[in-house]
Amino acid sequence: MNNFLAHTDEIRQTMLGEIGLSSIDELFSLISKEVRSDIKLTSGISELKAQKELKKLSKKNEIDFVSFLGGGVYNRFIPAAIGEITRRFEFNTAYTPYQPEISQGTLQMIYEFQTMICELTGMDVSNASVYDGATACAEAVAMAVKIKKKSKILVSDALNPDYKKVVETYCHDAGTVIEYAKVVDGKTLLDCDLSEYAAVLLQIPNYYGVIENIEELEGRKGTALLIACVDPMSLSVLKTPCSYGVDIAVGDFQQLGLSMSCGGPHGGFMAAKSAYARQLPGRIVGMTVDKEGKRAFTLTLQAREQHIRREKATSNICTNNSLMALSATVYMSLLGFEGMKEVELLSVQRAHQLAEDLEKIDGLGILYKDFLNEFVLNTNGMSERILSHLKRSGILGGIRLDENNILVAVTEMVEPESLELYVSKVKELF
């Protein structure tokens, strides 16, 4: 059987000629040689041989670590029912259900997801369209700038660094000016006139695991919108964003039934007050009745760049993120609010137990006390050494922030004996 190549050499040269180039190398000349790879492909092998080779390679993976990693990706228990449901053929595609009459199941699921997010956050309306917590933050900023018609935003310096980068990327070409609020003792200091900003963006708990003093903002945020990037699991034990005056609540729901994998996939959510419903990016599913009076679901709002009034589009987000939303919906349905609360309280209790035991070791300290299930361990210059020592013992001890500090996250997946092992291995170095 002959190999099929979509483009012949002649076609390639014609296309290169149209853009004034003579070779493929010239096309990619702007890419640094350091990041270009000259891949030498071998001749094809049989399927059987390929399977054996891949199996051999897979055995090099080290998968039996106890994880204390966090910083936006968390090792949570995933009930088996989630995989069984999401693998059903009805959910083989996550494409936008443009034809509601044949997509009632998908639309119902998205509607239920939106409803659960609204119940968690206390907000009026939610979408199911953003890729992750980072894009949710960026989209919320763009949304606030459009609503307030101001070009400055104030962002907490305790926002997840990866989220910062995405927000900065969004704002760069949009002409939006970002100013960062200082962090003092692990909490954001908001001592300026907030009315000059389109929005204030905080993360609760923040990147260091600290619960922000959000109540101090009540009555002084002026005309600025308040955007809170929240952890959905934490909302089972903390106040709802709506209760402390948040206008737009966003976040990442990786913790709700999605695996850590290699850093994804993730899912993002956005919820807002009803006054801003038409400014939410993506789609909002609504419930109605059909001509026979039966319950039906439809895409209520879907202002996007592909539609006729593309100049009115609220975003360039082009997904409904439904497969990830399905996993989260099943997770929240299985556990319920009380189940999520139980899981989170277990994580909090074990995190505080670990922090207390580590603090008893001379030379170590906990940097900030008002944390939930993630904290900063101060090691007095031993962060790299501690993490290396823990890794040799099968423990991923956390994220190295700098030479002194480690960000440590604890979830319900960490058993008490693993906490004891963590402490005992650290003691070996002191």
Between these two residues, 306 and 187, which has the higher pLDDT value? 187
Q: How far is CA 16 from the centre of its chain?
A: 40
pLDDT at 322: 84
User: What is the layout of strands, in order, in the sheet containing 399-400?
Assistant: 365-366, 374-378, 405-409, 399-400
Question: How does pLDDT run across 64-85, given as a tens digit for each residue?
Answer: 899 999 999 999 999 999 999 9
Q: Compute the half-sphere exposure of residue 299: CA atoms within 13 Å on the CB side of its CA.
A: 19
User: Rounded to an integer, what distance in angstroms lies between the CA atom of residue 30 and that of residue 312?
Assistant: 35
User: Rounded to an integer, what distance in angstroms lies between the CA atom of residue 346 and that of residue 414?
Assistant: 10
Q: What mean pLDDT, rounded, does the chain reach?
A: 90
The pLDDT of residue 307 is above 60:
no
Q: How far is CA 208 from the centre of its chain?
A: 16
pLDDT at 169: 95
pLDDT at 96: 67
pLDDT at 342: 97
3-state secondary structure the chain: CCCCCCCCHHHHHHHHHHCCCCCHHHHCCCCCHHHCCCCCCCCCCCHHHHHHHHHHHHCCCCCCCEECCCCCCCCCCCCHHHHHHHCCHHHCCCCCCCCHHHCHHHHHHHHHHHHHHHHHHCCCEECCCECCHHHHHHHHHHHHHHHHCCCEEEEECCCCHHHHHHHHHHHHCCCCEEEEECEECCEECCCCCHHHCCEEEEEECCCCCECCCHHHHCCCCCCCEEEEEECCCHHHCCCCHHHHCCCEEEEECCCCCCCCECCECCCEEEEECHHHHHHCCCCEEEEEECCCCCEEEEEEECCCCCCCCHHHCCCCCCCCCHHHHHHHHHHHHHHHHHHHHHHHHHHHHHHHHHHHHHHCCCCCEECCCCECCEEEEECCCCHHHHHHHHHHCCEECCEECCCCEEEEECCCCCCHHHHHHHHHHHHCCC
Between these two residues, 400 and 107, which has the higher pLDDT value? 400
pLDDT at 318: 64
What are the backbone angles phi and psi of residue 225, rounded to the nearest 5°?
-80, 145
User: Rounded to an integer, what distance in angstroms lies between the CA atom of residue 311 and that of residue 368?
Assistant: 47
Question: Computed from CA positions of residues 411, 414, 420, 424, in that sequence, does the dihedral angle turn out positive or negative?
Answer: negative
| 45 exposure class (CB count in 10 Å sphere: 0-12, 13-18, 19+) | exposed
**Integer CA distances (angstroms), 313 to 149, 282, 318, in order:** 16, 9, 11
pLDDT at 215: 74
pTM of the prediction? 0.86
Contact 315, 144 (CB under 8 A): no
User: Rounded to an integer, what distance in angstroms lies between the CA atom of residue 176 and that of residue 145?
Assistant: 8
The pLDDT of residue 308 is above 70:
no
Q: Which two tokens stand for residue 223?
A: 């005309």
**Integer CA distances (angstroms), 356 to 74, 233, 353, 366, in order:** 21, 23, 5, 8
User: Rounded to an integer, what distance in angstroms lies between the CA atom of residue 58 and that of residue 216?
Assistant: 52
User: Rounded to an integer, what distance in angstroms lies between the CA atom of residue 160 and that of residue 89?
Assistant: 36
**Domains of the chain as residue ranges with CATH:** 66-76+337-427 (3.90.1150.10), 80-332 (3.40.640.10)
pLDDT at 302: 67
Give percent of the chain above pLDDT 70.
92
Question: How does pLDDT run across 107-136, given as a tens digit for each residue?
Answer: 899 999 999 999 999 999 999 888 999 999
Question: How does pLDDT run across 6-18, given as a tens digit for each residue?
Answer: 788 889 999 999 9
User: Rounded to an integer, what distance in angstroms lies between the CA atom of residue 377 and that of residue 407?
Assistant: 6
